[in-house]
């Protein structure tokens, strides 16, 4: 299918499904359609909170179209605790038979998945690792919808009161800037700043932290604060998984 025609089809369907699409959303849809041949009708894309998210199915379809040579997934056993329903996986995507591989890590436990998928944490962790590896391999700087659960909390959760309030336009949210809050967390919990940065980039689904939106960074800071307070050792395990992230170069 011609990519221009594909965009027009995507645009028509998207306007029916999500009324009031902004100009920015339409332009982003055009770029995704032309660059990656993603389809709204096929379930490759969803619009959540005004942003396009590439679904797990969309990422797999993209890999298939580009003749992906293979995907290898393995659990990181030293970071897994079945009794606590805590899982961590490493996925490697091989674009060609000669490719060294693009590596992605994924973790899941009851504290960072939505209520809809609680009980399936192992599957979520595996999916997150595959999605992150596929995004690296094919240059998708957009979070997969399967990973949104890491932001979700029950409406009555006692942790809700600990969440940072929304950040206004001037870059502050009734106190320190997000960056200052992140630095404070790193010092308070004695975290490795470089590993935290790598985790933040992966969490936000961008190539660099500068490309992440304010909302994405806020979500990451909240996630980091909650996890550090609840289980610092598990957080350190997640951060240490990025020690080998340089292996992801093709």
Instruction: Tell me the per-residue pLDDT of 66-117, one tens digit each, with 9 for 90 and over.
Output: 999 999 999 999 999 999 999 999 999 999 999 999 999 989 998 888 777 8
**Lowest-confidence region among 45-59, 107-121, 163-177, 208-222:** 163-177
Is residue 180 classed exposed, middle or buried when 0-12, 13-18 and 19+ CB atoms within 10 A define those classes? exposed
**Is residue 37 within 8 Å of 63, Cβ to Cβ?**
no
Outline where DSSP puts E strands in 78-198.
87-94, 102-108
pTM: 0.59
pLDDT of residue 220 exceeding 80, the answer is yes
Residues 6 or more apart whose CB falls under 8 angstroms from that of 61 comprise 38, 42, 44
pLDDT in tens, 138-183: 988 655 555 544 433 333 333 333 333 343 333 332 334 677 788 8
pLDDT of residue 29 exceeding 60, the answer is yes
**Lowest-confidence region among 104-108, 119-123, 135-139, 227-231:** 227-231
Q: What are the residues facing 90 on neighbouring strands? A: 74, 105
């Amino acid at each position: 299918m011609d990519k221009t025609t594909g965009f027009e089809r995507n645009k028509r369907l998207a306007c029916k499904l999500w009324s009031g699409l902004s100009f920015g959303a339409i332009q982003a849809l055009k770029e995704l359609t032309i660059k990656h041949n993603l389809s709204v009708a096929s379930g490759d894309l969803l619009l959540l909170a005004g942003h396009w998210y590439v679904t797990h199915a969309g990422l797999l379809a993209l890999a298939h179209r580009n003749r992906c040579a293979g995907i290898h997934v393995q659990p990181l056993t030293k970071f897994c605790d079945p009794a606590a329903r805590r899982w961590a996986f490493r996925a490697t995507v091989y674009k060609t038979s000669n490719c060294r591989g693009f590596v992605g890590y994924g973790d899941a436990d009851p504290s960072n998945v939505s209520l809809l998928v609680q009980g399936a944490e192992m599957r979520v962790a595996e999916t997150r690792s595959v999605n992150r590896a596929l995004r690296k391999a094919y240059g998708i700087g957009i979070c997969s919808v399967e990973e949104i659960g890491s932001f979700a909390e029950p409406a009555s959760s006692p942790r809700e009161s600990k969440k940072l309030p929304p950040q206004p336009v001037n870059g502050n949210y009734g106190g320190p800037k997000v960056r200052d809050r992140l630095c404070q967390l790193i010092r308070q919990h004695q975290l490795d700043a470089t590993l935290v940065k790598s985790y933040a980039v992966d969490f936000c689904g961008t190539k660099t932290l500068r490309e992440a939106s304010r909302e994405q960074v806020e979500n990451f800071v909240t996630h980091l604060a909650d996890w550090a307070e609840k289980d610092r050792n598990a957080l350190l395990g997640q951060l240490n998984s990025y020690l080998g992230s340089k292996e992801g170069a093709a």
